[in-house]
Structure 1
Amino acid sequence: MPRSQHSRRASRPSQPETSPGDVASSTGRAVGSSSLGRVTKRSTNACSRCRRQKIRCSGLIPCDACTKRKLPCEINDSEQKILVTRGYIEELQARIAALEGNKPAAASDILDFGSDVEAETQSRPPSRKQRRRSSPSSAHRAASEGIESSSQQDSLGGNPLRNPLSSGQSTFSISADGKAFYLGTSSNWSFARRILSMIHEFILKSPLPTADLLFDGQAYDLGWEGSARMTPYDSPAMPALDYAIYLINAVNFHCAQVLHLFDEKSFMSSLYEFYRNQQAEHVKRSLWYVHFLLILAFGKAFVTKRNLAKRPPGAEYFVKAYELLPDVITLWKDPIVSCEILCCVALYLQSLDNRLAAHNIIGQAMRIALGQGMHTNMPGGLLGEDVVERSRRVWWTIYVLDREMTSLLGLPQSINDRDIYPELPKFEESPHRRAALEMEIRLSRVIATINKEIYQPDGKLNSRFLTSTKHVLEDVAAVSGQLQQSFPLQLDNSVAGVSRTAANLHLLYYQCIVLATRPLIFCFLQFRLESAELCARKLSSSQTVRNLIQMCIDSSLQMVIILESLQSQGLLESFLPFDIQSLFISTVNLSVAPAIDSHLVENYRFWLHKAFFILDEMTDSGSHIASKHKAELTRIIELLETLPGDHNLQQATMDFTSEAMASGNISAAFAQPEDALHGCINVMQALPTPISGTGMIDDEGMGHLLATSQIMDMANSVDCGDTDWMSEAIMTHGIWQG
């Protein structure tokens, strides 16, 4: 480089002050020179004079140049570029849409802040002075808060996107005797009741009469009002020892793979002692005797093949046990046995559809277990390995039952998973039980996540509804691979029978998918009641939403297939609530699906007959709950038949109700099973990506678990366009209201 050039460049900063024109010329030469080492950026907050003169502005108020020349310093904010959140833009769009529609936009519908002043402050872009006073760290923090606020609003127009099953004011159903029952957000019973009420009010223009509907605690009659002086069972007859052992083994078969209801070693030791001296009064006053009566009640319920009486099987043992159950002060003296007893009481009440009482009892067991430290990693060296092993079995049984009963009522979870850290039981005598319990716990945690993410209080979601569904599907996918590997369900295997344990886990797995996606069923049924054309247009405008609905329907079909396989092998449960719940929630979805789109369920009539055939067997076995569910499902089907514009649905339901309901000839539905199965195959083949080719229902109609990659493909297909589409649909049609 020539020395003279370098000298001139080095001396340039020390030149005397020049005129504005010279500054501009000098700046131009500096910027244009290829040999300049550094380019000084203009301030983004330049005043009007500096912009007009094209000179560098200090960005202060007033700026250095205007101060030196004693000139007024003005800033034109309208030309200023600012950074705002997407939520702010969407808020403005919502206001414009509301004004164009001549509909007032309430502040609560646009922003979710406490007052109008706060809303205006948080939504207005910051002034120039505020930006100058803010540090970079505070600006970054404010930007993060703005993004978080926008994410929480989560909808086109700023209207918070909500789950229709948990938004607005809470919903109640009034029984014939005037008692109000809360319709929980994730409750299966509540979902069906909401569906039936909505259809009835739309078609018949009148509230749903509740005289013949099933309410909590009304399925059975224990013949006891809760007072010891009113019990008709003074002392139930004790079975012979061999029959008692038979009943105990029945309880083991039906419950012991996952649930721990009693410690077999100590329980059987006390059993033999009792039968050696049945007249000993101290035995009949012990906790073990209460426990024994409860196990007998379960055993009688499991071995009774047909019970048409209003009183459930084993009721005499249960009532006597409950009468002898001591208060909580006495229960604390032996917390492990007390927790086992309370688990038995809660499960028996749940099986009778006394869901509120069951939830209360399992809550007592939870609190006794917490007080005993069973939710922690208990020290075996101090307490004894046997005590710790039994405590772990008790704790995880309470946990699983609590999660199940809480979800069935649609209530908040009682304990956070972050506060639970006991190890799994070892089950040295049966490693298979440990694997089954681990899978049950993982699925229970998925259910808890669904309740937290999708069924939040007041329906507000942490993120957009479909985004929350995406996260839940990712959790489901994490379970899918291990479930298929450890507990494969070979329904098409004619050599080996179906494992009852594997069937239970697969049913719970599909319930997770249904629970996560069925708000869309409710949403699109509302669209359908508004207009068939609207429903079809909305369904075709988002392929991802349609795929999620199809996933919900296919999962319902899978549950019916699994239950039919259990029925064919005599493994169907008619007393415990799990099979009935799976059948009920799947049949509700299958009943509603054709009204949304007739292509969602091919051979709709065939699948409904399958489901009702299983319900009939449960009813014949004495399940009054199944009988009530069947009546409620029939009302849904008959009401949907009257919807205008659905000729295929009307024809299918007319055939169904005339053949199956009037004549009771269920077997007529299976006249063409091959056509029905091929129709089911067509559903899967017609599904677009990413669901296409999932193999969920194969060419023989048997169920196979969705692969982890397939569920992840479904989750990953949910994008911003889908969530924006859903938000617009919600806002435009107001379907979250009421």
Structure 2
Amino acid sequence: MESPPASGRGRRASNACERCRRRKIRCTGSHPCTNCSRKNLSCHFDGQGRKVVVSQKYLQELQRAAVRSSHLEDRDRATSNAPAAAISFASGRDDDVSPNQLPGFTPVSQPTPESATEPSNPLASAKSSYVSDDKGRLRWLGESSTWSFSRKTLMVIRDHLKESDLPDVCINEESRAYDLDWGNQPLDSAAKFRNLPSIDHATYLIESLQFHVGQIFHLFDEANFIHQVREFYVNPAKYAGENRIWYVQFLAVLALAKAVGTNPGKGSRKLPGSEFFTRAMSLMPDSSYLFNDALTAIEALCIIALYLQSADMRNSAYIYTGQATRMSLVFGLHRERPTDGVWSPETADRCHKVWWTVYILERTFTSTIGVPMSVHEEDITTPMPKRDGTQNDISLYIHVRISGLIFQVIRKVYGAEGRLQASFLPSVREVLTKIASIAGDLNGCFPLPSDGSGAGISRAAAHLHLVYHQAVLLTMYPLLLYLVQARLREESRDPKASRTFSETTQALLKTCAESCNTMIHILSALRQEGLLECSLPFDLERIFSAAFVLKMLHFLTPRLKSYRPLRSESNLLLDDLIDRGSIPARFRKSELVSLEAMMQTWTDEGPEIMDGGPSQENQRPQDAVLQPDLPHLEGVEIGLGEFEANFVDPNRMSPGHLLSLVEMADVQEGGMDSDMAWMDAWLWENPEGLPLV
């Protein structure tokens, strides 16, 4: 998308003679002008009365500027009290004007202050502020930027001068001082357009991608994108040359569509669509050029990140997601759009969708990599997606809310020191309470099929429920690993040690088991419908998470009756992906096999320990002590050993159900001499037993 044009044309540029314009000096506008008369030179004015074609929107902006200029007497009061305004410097200059100097500017908006007497911070605003450069591209004015501060200061001072004395204002934005670009391969070779699909095939791939991905992310506006595709196929070389960033996006769309719509093939080392992806990357412009069409560039970066994640290149995917995030911040997408006529409703809506897609990907990939979040919730003022809009709007709304929880989990549960302190359980309880608060909207807007309904499962609903339960597991990872370490340490010192879990610990472990159970049910339903994603990483990530946590739970509670059918079904899911050619699925399964083998070796009880629980004859003394106090975990069953994938209990992990588990885990912070004593007290039924040090 091209940035909206500047709001007005500087008057002085159109009233200067040719010589003054070439020399970039002030012209009096008279005929002959003072400068030409002083040099005894002929004075020519070009363009007087020249007819030009302008858009209706441009004329309307000029009319609004004229209305504003008629109220100059109110200007002083408005400027002194108003927050930072979104302003635009005129870009309608002739080609011979210096690229770093603009002849004048017209304010796009001057918001009326809420109170003429109430002071406000002129540099802090919930809405974005912009200036437009000489090419009509909008540049966001960041709150703490010295460059932005100087622009706003110049605007305030200039706004108090008489019109006849208005000086030139230099934009001098980045990438103007020197000529520096890299990595841009020219589009003058026919090879850049070789082996493209037919227009019908391309349209099919785009619509297929929308089905697989478009319901949960915004990667492009489908109607507008299809229109651009049709224009492109009329003259590919010409259209790509004029819209280079769009062509990169188009190639990335083809690559991702091929990846999600075609199985890699068993034994293949090439992810489908790789030929289009590598071509897109070879044509990717440098970062400064990307701002020529910022929204399209951000969308393209999101698509590239998804493709890299599908190729199991998680670090690279995170880097490109980070680039999309930073471009979004530089372009001010995290702030509310100014309501001054520069942004059409369609453009503003696209900005919102682009931002929230970047937000979701940033939260998702950040948690996948395990690094700190780069954008804090309190810095975002962009309106949330519509709760009562289209199905895609509602999907994006729920997705954003769940992604926001991931930020809360990372911030509250994962500390820099990596210690389970006295604040851990209250933090877990707070996060789980927030997770439960979303379940009502999730189940109401995207219900899962219930027993006997005969309805198939929705791909969008499945994804959102899986993300929801992934957030639950993410909250519980530290506790699970701590308990496994505790068992290993305790029984290494004394095989007959007797410690049992407290009711609080049992409730939290039951929460994990319930989420694993629901996730595998959903994934199995997707497999039966032929909707299990082979290339996109999300389904594989959920299968692996649920299966891995189940093995940890079984290590802690070997008589968990639901383990055998869930373990078998998770293996079927992984084998399905492996048979379809997913190399990452093969990697994940090998990791699960390694975990199971090590646990079996440690227990020294043979394969039956990890497969169905020990018999009474072979049961070790510590298992006999640990198990009787786990009635909640014993109850997590699926039928009588049979796995019914077409049924997902809609009441399982409902808000009330999850909150009841959270209430069981309600332990107040503090009250002990040390964090270790406090942890010992709520983890175990008999904390006076062996110390865990």
Q: How far apart in 2 are the matches of 1:300 and 1:699?
A: 33
- 1:465-496: per-residue Cα shift (whole Å, max 9, x none)? 11111111111111111111111111534521
Q: Distance in 2 between matches of 1:489 and 1:390?
A: 29
Matched to 1:687, the amino acid is H
Which residue is equivalent to 1:560? 520
**What is residue 728 of structure 1 aligned with on the other side?**
680
Work out which of the residue numbers 542, 555, 577 in structure 2 matches 1:582: 542
Q: Residues 532 and 605 from structure 1, CA distance in 2 versus in 1: closer, same or farther, beyond 3 angstroms? A: farther
Could you report, residue by residue, the CA deviation over 1:354-404 in whole angstroms, capped at 9, with x for unpaired residues?
Answer: 111111111111111112221111024332111101101100000000000
Q: Do structure 1's residue 302 and structure 2's residue 263 form an aligned pair?
A: no
What SS does the aligned partner of 1:650 have? helix
Shift of 1:427: 9.8
Aligned residue identity for 1:715: V
Which one of the candidate residues 277, 293, 299 is aligned to 2:251?
293
Secondary structure of the residue that 1:333 maps to in structure 2?
Answer: helix
CA 1:688–1:341: 2 relative to 1, 3 Å:
closer
Q: Is the CA contact 1:694–1:706 (under 8 Å) kept in the aligned structure 2?
A: no
Aligned equivalents of 1:626 and 1:510: distance in 2? 20
Cα distance 1:734–1:382, how it changes in 2: closer, same or farther (>3 A)? farther
1:280 is paired with a residue whose SS is: helix
Q: Partners of 1:683 and 1:514 in 2: how far apart? A: 25
Distance (Å, rounded) in 1 between the aligned partners of 2:295 and 2:582:
32
2:552 aligned with 1:592, yes or no? yes
- Residues 1:702 and 2:648 are matched in the alignment: yes
Determine whether 1:530 maps to 2:493. no
Contact 2:562-2:636 within 8 A present in 1 as well: no
Equivalent positions of 1:687-698 (< 5 A) are 687=632
1:546 to 503, 506, 510: 506
What's 2:323 paired with? 364
RMSD, aligned CA: 3.6
CA distance in 2, matches of 1:721, 1:330: 55
Letter in 1 for 2:261: V
Q: Secondary structure at the match of 1:411?
A: coil
Once the two structures are superposed, residues 673-696 of structure 1 have per-residue CA deviations (whole angstroms, 9 ceiling, x without a partner) of xxxxxxxxx99994189x99999x
2:393 alignment partner, one of 434, 441, 452:
434
CA distance in 2, matches of 1:539, 1:694: 28
Partner of 1:208: none
Residue 423 (structure 1) aligns with: 383
Distance in structure 2 (CA, Å) of the matches to 1:538 and 1:473: 30
- 1:458 maps to which of 412, 417, 422: 417
Tell me the residue number matched to 1:621. Answer: 580
The equivalent residue for 1:195 is none
Match of 1:711 in 2: 658
Instruction: Identify which of 464, 467, 486 aligns with 1:508.
Output: 467
Contact 1:641 1:654 in 2 (8 A): no
Q: Does the Cα contact within 8 Å between 2:209 and 2:261 map onto a contact in 1?
A: no
Aligned residue type for 1:708: P
Distance 1:385 1:735, change over 3 A: farther
Write out per-residue CA displacement over residues 146-199 of structure 1, whole angstroms, 9 at most, x where no aligned residue: xxxxxxxxxxxxxxxxxxxxxxxxxxxxxxxxxxxxxxxxxxxxxxxxxxxxxx
Tell me the equivalent position of 2:599. Answer: 640
Alignment partners' CA distance in 2, 1:538 and 1:478: 38
Give the TM-score normalised by structure 2. Answer: 0.63
Matching residue within 372, 375, 388 for 2:348: 388
The residue type paired with residue 441 of structure 2 is: Q
In the alignment, residue 538 of structure 2 is paired with which amino acid? F
8 Å contact kept, 1:564–1:614 = yes
Pick closer, same or farther for the CA change 1:382–1:526 going to 2, 3 Å: same
> What is the alpha-carbon distance in structure 2 between the residues aligned to residue 432 and residue 535 of structure 1?
56
Q: Per-residue displacement from partner, 1:614-636 (whole Å, max 9, x unpaired)?
A: 10111122211101001111111
| Residues 688 and 327 (structure 1), Cα distance of their counterparts in 2 relative to 1, 3 Å cut | closer
- Counterpart CA distance in 2 for 1:279 and 1:266 is 20
Q: 2:589 aligns with which of 601, 621, 630?
A: 630
In percent, how many aligned pairs have the same letter? 31
Larger helix proportion of the pair: 1
Distance 2:495 2:669 in 1: 16
The one-letter amino acid paired with 2:263 is K
- The CA deviation at 1:250 is 0.7
Contact 1:393–1:425 (8 Å) recurs in 2:
yes
CA distance in 1, matches of 2:536, 2:364: 13
* Structure number with bigger Rg: 1
Match of 1:570 in 2: 530
Map of 1:244 onto structure 2: 202
CA 1:686 to 1:644, structure 2 compared with 1: closer, same or farther past 3 Å? closer
Matched, 1:259 2:217: yes
**Partner residue in 2 for 1:410:** 370
Do 1:594 and 1:649's aligned partners in 2 also have CA atoms closer than 8 Å?
Answer: no
Structure 1 residues 449 and 326 mapped into 2: Cα distance closer, same or farther (>3 Å)? same
Which residue identity does 1:418 align to in structure 2? Answer: E
Map 1:32-71; keep pairs closer than 5 Å: none
Query: Are 1:318 and 2:264 an aligned pair?
Result: no
Shift of 1:558: 1.3
Secondary structure at the counterpart of residue 500 of structure 2: helix
Unpaired segments ≥5 residues, structure 2: 1-182, 615-626
Moved more, 287-296 or 266-275: 266-275
Q: Provide the rounded CA distance (Å) in 1 between the counterparts of 2:543 and 2:628.
A: 21
Whole-angstrom distance in 2 between the partners of 1:535 and 1:403: 43
1:679-690 matches, within 5 Å, as: 686-687=631-632
Using the alignment, how far apart are the partners of 2:240 and 2:546 within structure 1? 49
2:398 touches 2:442 (CA, 8 Å); kept in 1? yes
- Count of residues paired in the alignment: 479
Q: Equivalent residue for 1:496?
A: 455
Task: Report the TM-score, using the length of structure 1 for normalisation.
Answer: 0.60
Aligned equivalents of 2:484 and 2:235: distance in 1?
63
1:110 is matched with: none
Q: How far apart, CA to CA, are the structure 2 residues paired with 1:421 and 1:264?
A: 26
Matched residue SS, 2:236 = coil
Q: Which runs of 5+ in 1 are unaligned?
A: 1-225, 656-681
| CA 1:592–1:718: 2 relative to 1, 3 Å | closer
* 1:589 Cα deviation after fit: 1.0
Pair 1:616–1:692, CA change in 2 (3 A): closer
Alpha-carbon displacement from aligned partner over 1:330-362 (angstroms, at most 9, x marks no partner): 001111111111111111111112111111111
SS of structure 1 residue aligned to 2:342? helix
Q: What is the alpha-carbon distance in structure 2 between the residues aligned to residue 444 and residue 683 of structure 1?
A: 38
- 1:330 is paired with a residue of what secondary structure? helix
- Shift in CA distance, 566/493, structure 1 to aligned 2, threshold 3 Å: farther
Q: With CA pairs under 8 Å and 6+ residues apart, which has the higher RCO, 1 or 2? A: 1
Counterpart AA for 1:478: S
Give me the whole-angstrom Cα distance separating, in 1, the residues matched to 2:579 and 2:537.
16
Q: Residues 215-239 of structure 1, C-alpha deviation per residue, up to 9 Å, x if partnerless?
A: xxxxxxxxxxx9979x9x8654111
Residues 642 and 560 of structure 1, relative CA distance in 2, 3 Å threshold: same
Task: For 1:716 and 1:426, locate their aligned partners in 2 and report how far apart those are by CA, in whole Å.
Answer: 32
